[in-house]
Amino acid sequence: METFDYEQVQLIPAKCVITSRSQADTSIEFGGREFKIPVVPANMQTVLNEALAEELARKGYFYIMHRFEPEKRMPFIKHMNAEGLFASISVGVKPEEYTFIDEIKASGERVDYITIDIAHGHSETVIDMIKYIKEQIPETFVIAGNVATPEAVRDLENAGADATKVGVGPGRVCITKIKTGFGTAGWQLQAIKLCAKAARKPIIADGGIRTNGDIAKSVRFGASMVMIGSLLAAHVESPGETVEEDGVTYKEYFGSASQFQKGIYKNVEGKKMLIESRGSLWHTMREMEEDLQSSISYAGGRDLGALRTVDYMIVPTIYNGD
């Protein structure tokens, strides 16, 4: 079987049918709502906080709030409901998370999206949680992950998941491959392709996005949404700690399974890194939209649909212009 990842794939231009890139429509319907671009910042503590989540919702972007400050989730849901904004949160699978689902139900508050966020999502614990959420809050759109195989996608869909999140170990601060020998690092785009073929519902490509062009490639191979950590961390608005070194400003970006997240070195599958601070998040989101508009024009279409059928070439080494 051909093996490839983002770096090895180039999409092949088709005849342009628009006269300006501004005519290209990058919007995506996901879970009954329309969003500006098929991009969602990773539900990680150094990428997103409540204030950013609210601003993303206000500006027409999808977001998934992380689950690492559990006590803040209920007040966040209430706040978003009071503001007339959609509520999108994450849960784990431990017993206290079942109590939290009960709490949401009892509160009568609306939660539009719940993401079950577990390293090894192809498991009975995730299947049980999907079923429980669907029983208790059936109107909620459930995203389940993370998984790596078509079989896992089908199992989670069959349990009731409305979307699945694909990617085990391709992230910038992931060390799952090194620590366990498992994952999609090095073939993440191919995993997206295989999972999307099996999926009957949307999939989110999660991890390994290193350039804006990788968003178009994810869509080409079947992703409805693309989850991005490192490229969307280290902005002025990012919650990661700011660090000054030799006159340069950096921001911390750490893995959700790192000792920095856990506060203890146990079952660690993530690390921390410093990323040079890169200005406003909204500038980066705007640039992603513009680059996606260009991608659509190169695909010879007017919207994201054009990307899904565009031809591609697998090139072992990318010519970098030197």
Ligand X SMILES: Nc1nc2c(ncn2[C@@H]2O[C@H](COP(=O)(O)O)[C@@H](O)[C@H]2O)c(=O)[nH]1
Residues placed in the known binding site for NADP(+)? 203-226
Judged by CB under 6 A, the stretch of 87-95, 99-107, 208-216, 221-229 that binds ligand NDP is 87-95
Check if the beta carbon of residue 256 is closer than 8 Å to that of residue 45: yes
Cβ–Cβ under 8 Å, residues 196 and 222 = yes
Q: What angle (nearest 5°) sits at the alpha carbon of residue 43, between those of residues 210 and 34?
A: 85
- Residue 91 CB, shortest distance to ligand NDP, in Å, is 9
Of 197, 174, 195, 194, nearest to 185 by C-alpha is 174
H or E segment and range at residue 230: none
Is 222 a residue that touches ligand X (CB under 6 A)? no
Q: How far is CA 133 from CA 43, 87, 105, 109, in A?
A: 19, 15, 10, 14
Q: Which of 91, 87, 83 is nearest to 66 (CA)?
A: 91
- What is the radius of gyration, based on Cα positions, of the chain? 19
Q: Which of 81-89, 167-175, 240-248, 279-287 is the region at the interface with ligand X (rule: CB under 6 A)?
A: 167-175
Cβ-closest position to ligand X: 270
Instruction: Kindly list the distances between the CA atom of residue 128 and the CA atoms of 64, 124, 165, 186, 198, in Å, as whole numbers in the listed order.
Output: 21, 6, 17, 31, 21
| Touching ligand NDP, residues 245-274 (CB under 6 A) | 256-257, 267, 269
Query: Do 304 and 296 contact (CB within 8 A), yes or no?
Result: yes
Binding partner selected for residue 297 from ligand X, ligand NDP, none, CB under the kind-specific 5 to 8 Å limit: none
Among 21-29, 207-215, 235-243, 287-295, which window interacts with ligand X (CB under 6 A)? 207-215
Size of the site for ligand X (CB under 6 A): 24
Between 24 and 156, whose beta carbon lies closer to ligand X?
156
Please give the DSSP secondary-structure letter assigned to residue 145: E
Q: How many CB atoms lie within 10 A of CB 53?
A: 24
| Sites for ligand NDP among residues 179-238 (CB under 6 A) | 207
**Closest CB 13 distance from ligand X, rounded Å:** 26
Q: How many residues bind ligand NDP (CB under 6 A)?
A: 20
What are the residue numbers of the active site? 174
Q: Select from 103-111, 121-129, 203-211, 296-304 the region that touches ligand X (CB under 6 A).
A: 203-211
Question: Which string of DSSP letters, residue by residue, matches 128-144?
Answer: HHHHHHHHH-TTSEEEE
From ligand NDP, ligand X, none, interface partner of 224 (C-beta below 5 to 8 A by class): none
CB 86 within 8 A of CB 112: yes
Q: How far is the CB of 258 from ligand NDP (least distance, A)?
A: 8
Q: Given the complex with ligand NDP, which of 52 and 148 has the nearer CB atom? A: 148
Q: Which residues bind ligand X (CB under 6 A)?
A: 42, 44, 146, 167, 169, 171-174, 176, 206-209, 227-230, 255-258, 269-270
